[in-house]
Structure 1
Amino acid sequence: MIRRWLPFIAGAGIVIWVTALVMLALTAEGPQRFGELYLAILLINVAGMVALLVLIGGRLADFVRDWRRHVPGSRLRGRTLLMFGGLAIAPLLMVFTFSVLFLTRGIDGWFHAEVRQGLTDALGLSRAALDLRMREYLDRTLGMADRLAAESGAGLYFALDEELRNSDAEELIVASAGGQTVAYIRAGIQHALPAALPADLLLQLRQGRPHVSLQPAPGGGYQVRAATQVLSVAGTHSPLVLIATYPVPQRLSDLAGTVQQAYQQYGQLSYLREPLKAAFVLTLSLVLLMALLAAVYGALYFSERLVRPVQDLIAGTRAVAKGDFDTRLLRPSHDEIGFLVTSFNDMTKKLARAREEAERSQAAVEAERAALAVILARLTSGVLSLEPDLRVRVANQAAGVILGVDFKGAAGRPLAEIAAGHPLLAELHAVLQRHLAAGESEWREQVTLRADAGRRELVCACTSLPGDAGAQGLVLVFDEVTQLLQAQRQAAWGEVARRLAHEIRNPLTPIQLSAERMRRKLMRGLGAPEAELLERSTHTIVQQVEAMKQMVAAFTEYAKAPEMHISELDLSALVRQVADLYHAQDPRVAFGLSLDLKASLLEADPGRIRQLLNNLLTNSLEALDGHQNPVIMIETRRLGDRVALAVTDNGPGFQDGLLEQAFDPYVTSKPKGTGLGLAIVRRIVEEHGGTVEVDNAPEGGARVRILLPATAREARRAEGRREKA
């Protein structure tokens, strides 16, 4: 509300101040003029100061508020205010000090003794001149009275007329002692009546004393009145009086009046000396105070005007720093500040265009990055993009799957830090460090990684990313060829098994038949000891031939590619059936079943799944041979679109050296084992598109974990991917 009235208040203050200065200038005409204008000057100055105080209060309140709120530019405005205020106030105080000094000394100079003495002497000189003229006129009047003493009647009037023409008198009056006019004559005027004579004049004349005095003339100036008795006039019995009026020369009258007026004014000034000085000092102080207030207001106003463009620039700079490149400032003037504002606006325009270009480039980069991310996500090869200091830049999903690492949020983290809890990545990091230490930034190598879940074979290729300042990082691409190598080994072992089965199967039957024929023909002609020896020998041959036939059957089973007969399978019922069968064969073994009802239905080949369970339980029973409290745990679980099957025993577990080769054919730690049980299990799992892992359970014993697709479509899709690999 007050801000809206500030311009009107400022205009009124300027008018009041100018009026006060004009009135103060008018007081220089004299003390009388000063006395007339003093009250008006005082009131006008007070009104001006009130207006300025209101203006200063409003500006100062705004400044203090901005200072407390730390508004940009308030500190600069404060320094500018101090500078402007100092530059304005210091000269004003200096001028005021010297003005007061000169004023008081000037007023004191008016009342020097020489001035007073000069005025006194001038006044005395003027009075002496007038006194001399008055005595001269009195003498003339006395002579005139002596000459008129002998006249009477009409002769008196003619004598007066004669005396008037022969003298410098303007008026001659002959009157009685009581004041009645006897004869009257005035130069240039006829038939006029004289003025009444003063009583004191008549009293003095009756006492016989002549009278002379200086009186103001009716038309201005002065005149001398001289009066005396006419001792004897013919025809009268009482004395008469003669009153003569003489004009004082105009020059002498003016000089006397001027001297008298100057002396009177000097007396007044002398009386008002100290009040006059106090009044002048007070008036000058009021003017100074108004000037100081005006200077303060001007400093506040112009500091705000000067700092306002800077504040706008600061606000604009902060807006630009926050990303608002559309900020535009109004050009305040055509000086350097205006040039700076124009440059700022040009800068924001260029920044806005640059941001648009950057956004378009960023959008293009993001589009390319999204396309690259899609490509990387669909790649079956693992891709790791690393900084020169081996910090992770990009890692695709396949890399996490192959290495068993979740790379979400890994961007910017050191590879060594991530590898701390992941053994496969730790081994790969060691291989990478070895090549970097040898100065090899581009290399290819097949790497074998060992973990608790088994051995992983990776084919790795590393190359450096070129940049303006040299290498800008590394790209490591790797493929897991474990299944490929295993498939190659399985194909080779299958061919070996097929040939072994073919070569071994042919002589086994003749050997068995020949042994039985020998036993039947020779038993009749031998004695008891020889017959018993023959029986034992032929029985051993037949038994070993049967074992060889079983081995040949296993070879045949491993070598052939059976046809899949997929149907809906109740996995829980099959697990219970197989477990009951093996428990009936060996009641000392405790079977623990944890079956998920959601995992009951499965699309698979029932015969192959039964063979898988038989192989797993057979291995577990053989491992638990001689164990005091044998236990076998079978668990099923539904994991999304897959079914998990886990078989765990509390036997000795896998040996460290055999864990990595557990699925290789003919690898076994049992004296009578063929080493094909787990190999066939793995083949059955892969035929169904699943995965299998072996490890040692934390509480001890061997554990086999199988993950199978729940539907035949997923199984066929996985089988197709495996055949392509």
Structure 2
Amino acid sequence: MGSSGQMVIDSMDAQLRRPAAVVERAEMRSEIMLSNLPSAVFALDSDLHFIAANPAAEHLFRASWTTLQGRSIEGFLGPHAKLVDLARQVQKSGSSISDYAVELALARGETMTVDSHLTPIIEAPGQVLAILHPCSMARRLDQQLGNRGSSRSVAALAATLAHEVKNPLSGIRGAAQLLEPYIEDDDKVLVKLICDEADRICNLVDRMEEFAEPGTIAREPVNIHQVLEHVRRIAENGFARSHRIVELYDPSLPDVEGDRDRLIQAFLNLIKNAAEAAPADSGQITISTQYQHGLRMSVPNSSERLELPITVEIRDNGAGVRDDMVDHLFEPFVSSKPKGTGLGLSLVSKIMGDHGGLVTYVPGEPGAIFRVRLPAARRPRRESGTRL
């Protein structure tokens, strides 16, 4: 065969080999993309045993692929897991199912909220492909906006109570004090009880009035570490004197723009909650700061989007938040404490919202984490001495 004929054969061989190479490259790209997805992606066979899982799924179930392979997903979930029911529905119906804000109870005791998408693998009857990712930030923002509406209702209620309840209570307290000199010593304890209860109700109304719309916040560049240091000193000399407080700060963090006193009020509430949740004999509160890109929020009455890179986390080593409380933590009058008013976290949410920021809850291992995101200051701080 001549050289020209050999060239034609070589060219045909190359053409035949090219599709295989293209397929191989495509499969490699798909594998790379799947491995780098932040969402957990895995496949189950007809018996709901793992037949594939990406690294995010391994992280979710805290198990390597060697551990997951061939094992039933039911062994990694709590009893009566909704995810198992969804997978069986997909197998039975042969159609995709998406369910949002699913409470995913893992066998190790951790619970998280995820958005789930399950679909049948058409080429393999009975097999199911699942995609899980943490409940979206948009849902958390919706909850916070709803809570802010509730806060405005609390403020309106407080204004009514101040007029209809607080003022008459002051009269009752005054009358009790006027009667005290004419009452026998054994009955004076009742006068004190009347005064104490009147004061308690008035203080509760005063706390509710804090939810009133603040108007214009006096915004200025604030060193968030000075705010946290001030709060830490208050805690160490008061309600958290028996706990260990650990600080993990990013020293390069820029200033935030806001009201220093209101920020102190918010973080004091968060650290007080952490101190009450931590065990009395070995309690630990960790305060950490870091700079994180990625979260932007719309500015009201503007097309501008504000980035929230300043991140502060308050972590405790207590028992964590009950599952039935997680979605209602920042609502007014919701509390897991026997004598709690349920206004502390709601007020924190309002203060952060007034600053254009956000506060969220994240389950800890163990304990609870409250994460605050705030915008950075747009202008430098005027140095006028250190204020602690």
TM above 0.5, yes or no, is: yes
Opposite residue 448 of structure 1, the aligned amino acid is E
**Residue in 1 aligned with 2:383?**
none
Aligned partner of 1:514 among 157, 171, 176: 171
Q: Is the 8 Å Cα contact of residues 111 and 323 (structure 2) preserved in structure 1?
A: no
CA RMSD of aligned residues (A): 5.4
User: Which residue does 1:635 correspond to in 2?
Assistant: 287
- Give the corresponding residue for 1:449: 104
**Structure 1 CA distance, aligned partners of 2:236 and 2:11?**
85
Match of 2:140 in 1: 483
**1:610 is the counterpart of 2:275:** no
- Of the three residues 645, 650, 653, the one matched with 2:319 is 653
Note if 1:704 corresponds to 2:365. Answer: no
1:594-643 Cα deviation digits (max 9, x unpaired): 34362564424334431232102322454579x4x575534335466666
Q: Which residue number in structure 2 is paired with residue 693 of structure 1?
A: 362
Q: Of 197, 208, 214, which residue of structure 2 is paired with 1:552?
A: 208
For residues 475 and 360 of structure 1, the distance between their equivalents in structure 2, rounded to whole angstroms, comes to 27
In structure 2, the residue matched to 1:619 is 273
Residue 573 of structure 1: aligned partner: 226
Aligned residue identity for 2:319? G
CA shift in 2, pair 1:457/1:542, >3 Å: same
The code of the aligned residue for 1:706 comes to R
Read off the aligned partner of 1:668 and give its amino acid letter. S
Aligned twin of 2:191: 535
Aligned counterpart in structure 2 of residue 668 of structure 1, from 311, 335, 342: 335
Asked if the contact 1:659/1:695 (under 8 Å) is kept, the reply is: no
Shift of 1:512: 2.0
Map 1:240-255; keep pairs closer than 5 Å.
none
- Residue deviations 1:461-498 (CA, integer Å, cap 9, x gap): 4444656x989974758782551563365256435534
Residues 83 and 104 in structure 2, CA contact (< 8 A), matched pair in contact too: no
Aligned to 1:501: 158
Following superposition, the deviation at residue 545 of structure 1 comes to: 2.8
Find the residue that maps to 1:582 and give its secondary structure.
helix
TM-score, normalising length: structure 1 = 0.38
Q: What is the alpha-carbon distance in structure 2 between the residues aligned to residue 449 and residue 712 of structure 1?
A: 38
Equivalent position to 1:430, from 74, 81, 84: 84
CA displacement at 1:561 relative to structure 2 = 7.3
What is the number of equivalent residue pairs in this alignment? 347
Q: Distance in 1 between matches of 2:67 and 2:345?
A: 40
Q: Distance in 2 between matches of 1:471 and 1:649?
A: 44
SS at match of 2:165: helix
Structure 1 pair 707/542, CA: closer, same or farther in 2 (3 Å)? closer
CA contact (8 A) 1:572 1:597 kept: no
Take 2:44 and 2:236, find their aligned partners in 1: how far apart are those partners? 59
- Letter paired with 2:191: E
The equivalences for 1:107-256 within 5 A come to none
The 5 Å alignment of 1:581-596 reads 581-585=234-238, 588-589=241-242, 591-596=244-249
- Deviation track 1:493-526 (CA, whole Å, cap 9, x = no partner) reads 43553453244333123322321453366567x4
Change in Cα spacing, 1:571 to 1:434, as seen in structure 2 (3 Å) is same
Q: Distance in 1 between matches of 2:132 and 2:283?
A: 44
Determine if contact 1:565/1:604 at 8 Å carries over to the other structure: no
SS of 1:598's equivalent? Answer: coil
CA contact (8 A) 2:96 2:117 kept: yes
| 1:646, distance to aligned residue in structure 2 (A) | 4.6
- Give distance in 1, aligned partners of 2:266 and 2:169: 31
> Which structure has the larger Rg?
1
Distance 1:632 1:550, change over 3 A: farther
* Residue of structure 1 in register with 2:304 after alignment: none
Alignment of 1:5-24 (within 5 A): none
In the alignment, the residues of structure 1 paired with residue 125 and residue 316 of structure 2 have an alpha-carbon distance, to the nearest angstrom, of 57
CA distance 1:670–1:453, shift in 2 (3 Å): same
* Aligned residues of 1:634 and 1:645 also touching (Cα < 8 A): no
Equivalent residue letter for 2:204: M
Report the residue type matching 1:509 in the other structure.
Answer: K
CA distance in 1, matches of 2:70, 2:263: 42
**1:678 Cα deviation (Å)?**
3.3
TM-score normalized with structure 2 length? 0.62
Whether the 8 Å contact between 1:387 and 1:472 is mirrored in structure 2 is: yes
Kindly tell me: are residues 659 and 521 of structure 1, through their superposed partners in 2, closer, same or farther at Cα, counting changes over 3 Å? closer
Deviation per CA, 1:433-483, whole angstroms, max 9, x where unpaired? 32245344333434222466754152x44444656x989974758782551
> Does the Cα contact within 8 Å between 2:151 and 2:350 map onto a contact in 1?
no
Distance in 1 (CA, whole Å) between partners of 2:77 and 2:214 is: 36
Task: Give the Cα separation in 2 of the matches to 1:462 and 1:688.
Answer: 34
5+ unaligned residues in a row in structure 2: which ranges? 294-308, 379-388
Q: Work out whether residues 505 and 552 of structure 1, in 8 Å CA contact, stay in contact via their aligned partners in 2.
A: no
Give distance in 1, aligned partners of 2:122 and 2:275. 59
Higher strand share goes to which structure?
A: 2
Greater share of residues in helix = 1
Q: Which amino acid aligns with 2:176?
A: R
One-letter amino acid matched to 2:230:
Q
Q: Distance in 2 between matches of 1:671 and 1:413?
A: 43
Note closer, same or farther for the CA distance 1:427–1:682 as it changes in structure 2 (3 Å cut). Answer: farther
Question: CA distance change for structure 1 residues 578 and 591 in 2, over 3 Å: closer, same or farther?
Answer: farther
User: Which residue in 1 is equivalent to 2:12?
Assistant: 350
- Is the CA contact (8 Å cut-off) linking 1:383 and 1:476 kept in structure 2? yes
Secondary structure at 1:572's aligned position in 2?
A: helix
CA contact (8 A) 1:595 1:637 kept: yes
CA deviation map 1:49-105 (0-9, x unaligned): xxxxxxxxxxxxxxxxxxxxxxxxxxxxxxxxxxxxxxxxxxxxxxxxxxxxxxxxx
Letter in 2 for 1:619: N
Classify 1:696/1:675 alpha carbon distance in 2 versus 1 (closer, same or farther; 3 Å).
farther
Mapped contact 2:362–2:371 kept (Cα < 8 A): yes
Where do 5+ consecutive residues of structure 1 fail to align? Answer: 1-328, 332-341, 714-725
Name the amino acid aligned to 2:376.
T
Residue by residue over 1:517-572, the C-alpha shift from the partner in whole angstroms, topping out at 9 and shown as x without a partner, is: 53366567x45459836733541442233233244235x26xx5776665443333
